[in-house]
Amino acid sequence: MTNVTMPMLETYPLEINLDRRQLASAIDSLISCSEACTACADACLSEPMIAELAKCIRTNLDCADICQATARVLSRHTGYDANISRTLLEACVMACRTCADECERHADMHEHCRICAQACRDCEAACQQLLAAMK
């Protein structure tokens, strides 16, 4: 976990209908995944066979954006709408799974793809756990 997410959730003055530690863990996983995907896309752009990595780059950037948006929404609780959070988490699960699958295709040749794939798998699991807690 980051050193900010949990303290911020602990200071929220109203009730949160989710376990704060589980929520913090999911938010941190989303932020880490977004960072990994952004860095992986950038590293792919520096590889000599860039055309072969076009799908990977696109998938990285899509996943990064979806994870970042989801982390931001999950960090807000005033006027909370569980349907929006659920929908974003479901989109994150799909984006992370797709990105991990694509990065794993290149993981033997590119270490950044291996690291990104693992971050995506971790984030996918964190999102699924939070979804299960919301039902």
Residue with tokens 């270490």: 111
Phi, psi of 111 (to 5 degrees): -60, -35
Does 6 have pLDDT greater than 70?
A: yes
Tokens for 51, please give them: 């055309």
- Integer-rounded Cα Rg, in Å, for the chain is 15
DSSP H stretches of helix in the chain: 5-11, 20-45, 54-74, 82-106, 111-134
Tokens for 104, please give them: 């794993």
Does 14 have pLDDT greater than 90?
A: no
Residue 17 banded pLDDT, cuts 50, 70, 90: confident
Tokens for 93, please give them: 């699960």
Residue 77 banded pLDDT, cuts 50, 70, 90: confident
Residues 65 and 63: their CA atoms lie apart, in Å, by 5
Phi, psi of 109 (to 5 degrees): -100, -25
Residues 119 and 36: their CA atoms lie apart, in Å, by 7
pTM: 0.93
Q: Dihedral (C-alpha) 86, 91, 33, 39: value to the nearest 10 degrees?
A: -150
In the prediction, which pLDDT does 2 show?
55
How does pLDDT run across 62-71, given as a tens digit for each residue?
Answer: 999 999 999 9
